[in-house]
Amino acid sequence: MNTGVKITAYAAALAATFGAAYGVGTGVGPVEEPKKAGHGDHAAAPAPSKSAAAGDGHAGHEEGATTDAPAAANLPGGLQVSDGGYTLALETPTPATGKSVLKFSIKDAGGKKVTAFTTEHGKELHFIVASRDLTTFRHLHPVKAADGTWTTPVDLPAAGGYKAFADFKPAAPGAQGVTLGADLSVPGAYAPKPMPAVVPTATVDGYQVRLGGTLDPGKAGELKLTVTKAGKPVTDLEPYLGAYGHLVALRDGDLAYLHVHPNEGGPGPDVSFTATAPSGGTYRLFLDFQHEGKVRTAAFTVTAGAGKATAPAPKTTAPAADEATGDAGGHSHG
């Protein structure tokens, strides 16, 4: 796989299954992407923060960060608000329902806002917001001010609990990638939605995306997603985040990231990932893909350890992806 565009994508005893991957998504490629295209693959499948894998804090932190801050061993990224001497500080932890603006910063161990980041796959920082019931998913593209404050518009459809994930690599010698998570609360009457049914096909904006493969605890398996429109294979997917597809996987209950490895592939109709589930249970997968200039998100519910990632569709097929939730997809550029 060429380094220009890896596939992007953000535990069993939360162990080393989450290995060295980092970030909130993993894309599928590789592709030769025009420079104007979006960021490359920030490894979507969450892994423990690299600081955890290293067993110590990040080396050479800038802006007053120290290197002796303990990192949580064997934890996947996104489960902690602080790790390796860095903290995700939300300045707007209670956004309003509907359209609003999120502001946040990354602070070092001394409490100072970090302003210098390493560009990873086209972006200095990748940001995702998901509802606690996993029925709303927003992949956002915040803009950084000179003082280290990040800002992005967001549209959250309902009151309730959400979680924000920030994936970044500080611009310091020897620094590792970090994925942090922090809670958001949208005020108002809250009624959690049930988890969408396990069905093999998601329909979004006239496209059908079929999920095949297996998701097994402690064992690598392939997840293959096939994109069609009007019954015909889509073979000209466009680069999004530097790849032909971008996958985020979150575990029901704690929103831990699933460890996903991208596989090589062309511009459709198939996009493929290799995944190892850290435990049995229910997971929610979000596939972003771009076609005809627009990004769409197909969402799936899968059960790890069921023998197949997707069970046979019931006689009365439940709505899938955006039809099931109305809010699986969401892309915003600050």
Give the pLDDT confidence of 68-123 residue by residue, as tens digits: 444 455 677 789 999 999 999 999 999 999 999 999 999 999 999 999 999 877 78
Alpha-carbon distances of 113 from 161, 197, 270, 287, rounded to whole Å: 26, 42, 41, 32
Is 201-333 the same fold as 12-186? yes
CB 58 within 8 A of CB 176: yes
> How would you write 109-170 as a 3-class SS string?
CCCCECCCECCECCECEEEEEEECCCCCEEEEECEECCCCEEEEEEEECCCEEEEEEEEECE
CB 206 within 8 A of CB 294: no
- Cβ neighbours of 319 (radius 10 Å): 14
Separation CA 92–CA 207 (nearest Å): 35
CB 69 within 8 A of CB 57: yes
Residue 55 has pLDDT above 70, yes or no: no
Separation CA 317–CA 180 (nearest Å): 36
- Cβ neighbours of 253 (radius 10 Å): 12
Determine the average pLDDT of the residues in 173-183: 91
320: closest CA among 292, 304, 295, 296?
Answer: 296
Separation CA 160–CA 84 (nearest Å): 29
Residues 6 or more apart in contact with residue 48 via CB below 8 angstroms = 11, 14, 16, 18, 19, 72, 73, 74, 75, 76, 77
CB 196 within 8 A of CB 154: no
Buried residues in 188-199 as b, exposed as e (16+ CB within 10 A): eeeeebeebebb
- Residue 26 — pLDDT band, cuts 50, 70, 90? low
pLDDT digits (tens, 9 = 90+) for 228-247: 999 999 999 998 887 788 88
Separation CA 210–CA 229 (nearest Å): 11
Say if pTM beats, i.e. exceeds, 0.75.
no
Round the average pLDDT of the chain to a whole number and report it: 77
pLDDT in the model for residue 330: 59
- Residue 3 — pLDDT band, cuts 50, 70, 90? very low
Separation CA 126–CA 45 (nearest Å): 13
CA-CA-CA-CA dihedral for 267, 269, 272, 277, to nearest 10 = 140
- Residue 42 — pLDDT band, cuts 50, 70, 90? very low
State CA 105 to chain mean position distance. 19
Residue 45 has pLDDT above 60, yes or no: no
pLDDT in the model for residue 242: 76
- Domain boundaries 201-333, corresponding CATH code: 2.60.40.1220
The CATH topology of domain 12-186 is Immunoglobulin-like (2.60.40)
Domain boundaries, the chain: 12-186, 201-333
